[in-house]
Amino acid sequence: MEISYLTSTLKQFEYYKSLGDKTISQLTFDELKYEFVEDSNSIAIIVKHIVGNMLSRWTNFLTEDGEKKWRHRDSEFEDTFQNREALLAYWNKGWDCLLNAIKPLNSADLERIIYIRNQGHTVTEAINRQLAHYAYHIGQLVFLGKLSKGKKWKSLSIPKGESVTYNTEKFDKEKGRRHFTDDL
């Protein structure tokens, strides 16, 4: 079960990264920086926050507290990206940190205790906590991207009105064990 869990969570993280990648790719730099309401978060700010969290949580996560002294969380909500390339480089830096921390884990690691702000978590609990946190913010990112593009938005899941076609394609395949992201 532990190996299945690690494989599944890795695929889930990669799936959420792909949703972010596909959203960011559809938007101009101005759209990435746009705040729909004063004091709301733009996609650029959400990216900055997600990555700040990733770098803090996943850098030496088995041996150091997940809330690093060098993290300045409040500054994550200030948009400082000068161009699209800087935003993408930072986005990928965070995901690389996370994926490089999870890939070497094995089942014996899952019950180890790690700390986030001095609160003990098993590695499993910490993974679940961060998976839920990133999914929450990726959902915001996708929603803002969709709002920005309007009718020009390219759906990242089953487009409206195409559920029957999608389900027909799925049920035409033989039953088998596979992850839902395998076909994406």
- 120, β-bridge pairs: 115
Q: What's the DSSP call for residue 135?
A: H
> Does 165 reside within a domain?
no
Tokens representing residue 21 in the block: 């990648």
> Does 182 reside within a domain?
no
> Which CATH number fits the domain that encloses residue 61?
1.20.120.450
> Does 138 reside within a domain?
yes
> Does 179 reside within a domain?
no
Buried b (16+ CB within 10 A) or exposed e, 28-53: eeebbbbeeeeeebbbbbbbbbbbbb
- C-beta separation of 49 from 127 below 8 A: no
Instruction: Count the helices and strands in the chain (H runs, E runs).
Output: 6, 2
- If one counts the domains in the chain, the total is 1
Q: How far apart are CA 56 and CA 72, in angstroms?
A: 10
The pLDDT tens digits of the residues spanning 43-75 come to 999 999 999 999 999 999 999 999 999 999 999
Q: How far apart are CA 141 and CA 135, in angstroms?
A: 10
> Does 161 reside within a domain?
no
In percent, how much of the chain has pLDDT > 90? 83
Q: What mean pLDDT is reported for the chain?
A: 94
Domain that holds residue 27: 2-153
